[in-house]
């Protein structure tokens, strides 16, 4: 397990509190452990930082609130006008995460995610223009850039004189990012020649600074990250893509034809580009999560007003149970997503290095939560919801992308399950070695064995386990007991899956999806619980509501987790698989009442 180290770019502002434990909270669940110290108490944003963030959010409100009709028009046109992008520059929104020494605002991950939540209340494309620049376009420079590279580029990126884009995807390489074909060849003078084409690049047509990934096939590794300028000879971009949603966010192809890059354009180490790409995506996920939460908050406001104002059968539709249930669920989803996103932001801001599983969880949960929320908000508005004159259909279209880009939710579910199973598997392997080691090196051998055996014993008996329920307010104890129980069940199920499939577990997607889903519910649920406990102990005026949300989430999660775990053993997977093969073979649904079959 990794230890926390101070991040390369220490944030100027962040949550107060510090992490006590070095392990990943999500991966520890696979061992039957709830890392209480990493989850409780829920972190809070220090007052001084709250004041800064409020000022930024107020300025955003002042600037974007009156632009609803512009956003609608730009959605039709599929383009943000240059003057609008200039206003984003003038407001400093391209410098959010760039340290103050380079002219940026130096926001922490927590602060940055909160700002994107604010812009997403108005228009997702605005969030994306800013977000693709910060979360992925320039993040590689912040994480891996040399001092000289930072000095050179960050001041221009902070003002937005240079807008940044992240160029990984190609026509033959989407989820399988390691299979890119763009190629960079080293020249005798140590410069590089880059050839290739990237597709669907956000900000591709307005960026001056590209983080580009290309094959280099050296002994050090297959892929390298490069800094490329839009005005380097041989760089060009295609026209705007015509998209379903986030239509005014700039998306296009970016091509590189024999682009000559000096040696100092390598970002990070030669051959380590895949690590650079994955680190950027992991670190950037709270931006996407923050945006989703902002959208949900807006939808809750719209739906509440609509439910109270719209009358049918002589009553406000807010009186009808099926409408009430939708609104309550929106609040559960929003609070849960928010609790998890800002917990992960806290991990990143604290210099934690092992947060990729938690970041993937928040991306999956928040992206699906906003899609559920927009679906239900549109349903409450019904006919109005379907009309372009109202905001619902645009938010529904805009939020659809969130489960596709920055890692599809399928790939991330696999990642969540496999990253936890890997650590557990390594432990099992260690245990095997330890058993043979007992004869050669008894002290070391028994040491490893007792660590793992201890975990297994506490999992089986409950003795010595972290009992988070003991330190929580009474109203939250039943929820805590659910997480304690299902953490044990996840550990037992993971252990059983590893024993059954061994390395072959990587191909067992039906099982991995279930294990991933249980992990998502556990981690998000624990974040929700921690936040409700924090609000209770600070006697927050809405603590009652937070406890109700935490209790509801836990009960819903319990039902979901119980089903997922049961289905690991009792399922229709074989029939599902056979049916899929038949459909693929026929290439269509063969049934048609017209032919009486």
Ligand X SMILES: Cc1cc2nc3c(=O)[nH]c(=O)nc-3n(C[C@H](O)[C@H](O)[C@H](O)COP(=O)(O)OP(=O)(O)OC[C@H]3O[C@@H](n4cnc5c(N)ncnc54)[C@H](O)[C@@H]3O)c2cc1C
Q: Catalytic amino acids?
A: 406
435 touches ligand X by CB under 6 A = no
Q: Which of 76, 263, 387, 404 binds ligand X (CB under 6 A)?
A: 404
* Segment interacting with ligand X (CB under 6 A) among 45-53, 409-417, 433-441, 567-575: 409-417
Nearer to ligand X by Cβ, of 268 and 385: the residue is 268
Nearer to ligand X by Cβ, of 105 and 132: the residue is 132
Minimum CB distance to ligand X, residue 519 (Å): 17
Nearer to ligand X by Cβ, of 133 and 298: the residue is 133
* Segment interacting with ligand X (CB under 6 A) among 99-107, 162-170, 214-222, 445-453: 162-170
Pair 205, 252: CB distance under 8 Å: yes
505 touches ligand X by CB under 6 A = no
* Dist CA 566 CA 447 (whole Å): 34
Minimum CB distance to ligand X, residue 200 (Å): 4
Minimum CB distance to ligand X, residue 581 (Å): 16
508 touches ligand X by CB under 6 A = no
Burial classification of residue 478, based on how many CB atoms lie within 10 Å of its CB (0-12 exposed, 13-18 middle, 19 or more buried): middle
Query: Helix count (H) and strand count (E) of the chain?
Result: 19, 10
Q: What is the dihedral of CA 237, 241, 245, 249, to 10 degrees?
A: 30
- Give the Cβ contact number of residue 389 at 10 Å: 7
* Dist CA 571 CA 567 (whole Å): 5
Nearer to ligand X by Cβ, of 353 and 410: the residue is 410
* Segment interacting with ligand X (CB under 6 A) among 169-177, 344-352, 559-567, 571-579: 169-177
Nearer to ligand X by Cβ, of 37 and 241: the residue is 241
- What is the token pair recorded at 309? 């104002």
Find out whether the peptide bond into 41 is cis, omega within 30 degrees of 0: yes
Minimum CB distance to ligand X, residue 201 (Å): 5
Cβ-Cβ contacts under 8 Å for 388 (sequence gap 6 or more): 72, 394
Q: Which of 87, 175, 190, 218 binds ligand X (CB under 6 A)?
A: 175
Minimum CB distance to ligand X, residue 78 (Å): 12
Question: Residue 488: which of 177, 49, 153, 29 has the closest Cα?
Answer: 29
- Each residue 177-216 as x (binds ligand X by CB under 6 A) or -, in order, gives -----------------------xxx--------------
168 touches ligand X by CB under 6 A = yes
261 beta partners: 192
- What is the token pair recorded at 515? 């294990």
Minimum CB distance to ligand X, residue 286 (Å): 17
Query: Binding to ligand X (CB under 6 A): which residues in 130-149?
Result: 132
Nearer to ligand X by Cβ, of 38 and 129: the residue is 129
Nearer to ligand X by Cβ, of 41 and 174: the residue is 174
* Segment interacting with ligand X (CB under 6 A) among 220-228, 402-410, 478-486, 526-534: 402-410
* Dist CA 299 CA 297 (whole Å): 5
* Residue of minimal Cβ distance to ligand X: 174
Nearer to ligand X by Cβ, of 61 and 513: the residue is 513
3-state secondary structure of 490: helix
* Dist CA 127 CA 398 (whole Å): 11
164 touches ligand X by CB under 6 A = no
- Each residue 251-270 as x (binds ligand X by CB under 6 A) or -, in order, gives x-------------------
- Give the Cβ contact number of residue 567 at 10 Å: 16
127 touches ligand X by CB under 6 A = no
Instruction: Please count the residues of this chain forming the interface with ligand X, following the rule CB under 6 A.
Output: 20
Nearer to ligand X by Cβ, of 17 and 78: the residue is 78
166 touches ligand X by CB under 6 A = yes
Name the strand (E) or helix (H) holding 400.
none
Question: Residue 393: which of 415, 374, 410 has the closest Cα?
Answer: 374
* Signed CA dihedral, 406, 412, 418, 422: sign only: positive
Whole-number Cα distances in Å, 462 to 27, 56, 71, 386, 530? 19, 48, 55, 52, 21
169 touches ligand X by CB under 6 A = yes
Minimum CB distance to ligand X, residue 132 (Å): 5
274 touches ligand X by CB under 6 A = no
Pair 173, 179: CB distance under 8 Å: yes
Nearer to ligand X by Cβ, of 211 and 469: the residue is 211
* Dist CA 498 CA 508 (whole Å): 11
Minimum CB distance to ligand X, residue 173 (Å): 7
Q: Which of 278, 411, 481, 506 binds ligand X (CB under 6 A)?
A: 411
Strand bridging mode 266-267 / 221-229: antiparallel
Query: Binding to ligand X (CB under 6 A): which residues in 8-27?
Result: none
* Signed CA dihedral, 464, 497, 487, 461: sign only: negative
Question: Residue 533: which of 546, 520, 519 has the closest Cα?
Answer: 546
401 touches ligand X by CB under 6 A = yes
- Give the Cβ contact number of residue 574 at 10 Å: 9
Burial classification of residue 410, based on how many CB atoms lie within 10 Å of its CB (0-12 exposed, 13-18 middle, 19 or more buried): middle
Place of tokens 């103050």: 100
Nearer to ligand X by Cβ, of 200 and 347: the residue is 200
* Segment interacting with ligand X (CB under 6 A) among 152-160, 367-375, 400-408, 559-567: 400-408
405 touches ligand X by CB under 6 A = yes
Place of tokens 């939540």: 117
* Segment interacting with ligand X (CB under 6 A) among 111-119, 296-304, 399-407, 434-442: 399-407
Q: Which of 41, 46, 78, 174 binds ligand X (CB under 6 A)?
A: 174
* Segment interacting with ligand X (CB under 6 A) among 22-30, 70-78, 110-118, 163-171: 163-171
Q: What is the DSSP string of 429-469?
A: HHHHHHHHHHHH-HHHHHHHHHHHHHHHHHHHH-TT---GG
Q: Which of 217, 319, 353, 410 binds ligand X (CB under 6 A)?
A: 410
Residues near ligand X (CB under 6 A) are 132, 165-169, 174-175, 200-202, 243, 251, 401, 404-405, 408, 410-411, 414
């Amino acid at each position: 397990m990794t230890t926390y180290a101070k991040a390369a770019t220490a944030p100027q502002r962040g949550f107060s509190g510090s992490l006590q434990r070095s392990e990943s909270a999500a991966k520890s669940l696979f061992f039957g452990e709830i890392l209480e110290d990493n989850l409780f108490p829920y972190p809070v944003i220090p007052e001084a930082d709250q004041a800064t963030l409020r000022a930024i959010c107020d300025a955003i409100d002042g600037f974007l609130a009156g632009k609803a009709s512009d956003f609608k028009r730009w959605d039709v046109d599929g383009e943000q006008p240059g003057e609008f992008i200039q206003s984003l520059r003038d407001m400093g929104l391209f410098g959010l995460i760039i340290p103050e020494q380079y002219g940026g605002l130096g926001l922490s991950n927590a602060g940055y995610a909160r700002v994107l939540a604010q812009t997403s209340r108005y228009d997702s494309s605005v969030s994306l223009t800013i977000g693709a620049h910060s979360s992925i376009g320039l993040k590689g420079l912040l994480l891996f850039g040399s001092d000289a590279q930072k000095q050179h580029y960050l001041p221009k990126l902070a003002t937005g004189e240079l807008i940044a884009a992240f160029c990984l995807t190609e026509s033959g390489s989407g989820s399988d990012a390691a299979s890119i074909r763009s190629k960079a060849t080293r020249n005798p003078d140590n410069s590089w020649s880059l050839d290739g084409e990237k597709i669907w690049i956000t900000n591709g047509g307005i960026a001056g600074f590209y983080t580009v990934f290309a094959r280099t096939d050296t002994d050090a590794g297959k892929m390298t990250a490069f800094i490329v300028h839009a005005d380097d000879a041989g760089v060009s971009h295609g026209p705007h893509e015509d998209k379903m949603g986030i239509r005014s966010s700039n998306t296009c192809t970016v091509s590189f034809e024999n682009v000559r890059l000096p040696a100092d354009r390598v970002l990070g180490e030669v051959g380590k580009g895949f690590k650079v790409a994955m680190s950027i995506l992991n670190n950037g996920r709270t931006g996407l999560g923050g945006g989703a939460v902002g959208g949900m908050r807006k939808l809750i406001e719209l739906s509440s007003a609509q439910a109270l104002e719209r009358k049918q059968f002589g009553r406000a539709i807010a009186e009808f149970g099926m409408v009430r249930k939708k609104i309550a669920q929106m609040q559960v989803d929003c609070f849960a997503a928010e609790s998890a996103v800002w917990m992960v932001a806290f991990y990143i801001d604290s210099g934690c290095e092992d947060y990729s599983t938690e970041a993937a969880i928040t991306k999956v949960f928040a992206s699906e939560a906003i899609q559920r929320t927009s679906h239900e908000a549109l349903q409450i508005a019904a006919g109005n919801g379907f009309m372009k004159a109202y905001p619902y259909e645009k938010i529904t279209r805009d939020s659809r992308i969130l489960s596709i880009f920055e890692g599809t939710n399928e790939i991330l579910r696999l990642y969540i399950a496999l990253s936890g199973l890997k650590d557990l598997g390594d432990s099992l392997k260690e245990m095997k070695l330890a058993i043979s080691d007992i004869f050669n090196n008894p002290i070391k051998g028994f040491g490893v064995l007792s660590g793992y055996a201890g975990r297994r014993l506490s999992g089986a008996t409950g003795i010595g386990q972290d009992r988070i329920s003991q330190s929580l307010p009474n109203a939250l104890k039943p929820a805590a007991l659910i997480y304690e129980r299902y953490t044990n069940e996840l550990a037992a199920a993971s252990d059983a899956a590893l024993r059954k499939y061994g390395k072959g577990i990587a191909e067992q997607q039906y099982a991995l999806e279930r294990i991933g889903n249980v992990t998502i519910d556990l981690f998000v649920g624990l974040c929700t619980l921690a936040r409700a406990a924090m609000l209770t102990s600070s006697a927050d005026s809405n603590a009652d509501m937070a406890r109700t949300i935490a209790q509801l989430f836990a009960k819903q999660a319990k039902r979901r987790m119980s089903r997922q775990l049961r289905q690991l053993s009792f399922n229709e997977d074989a029939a599902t698989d056979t049916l899929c093969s038949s459909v693929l073979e026929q290439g269509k649904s063969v049934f048609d009442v017209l032919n009486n079959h």
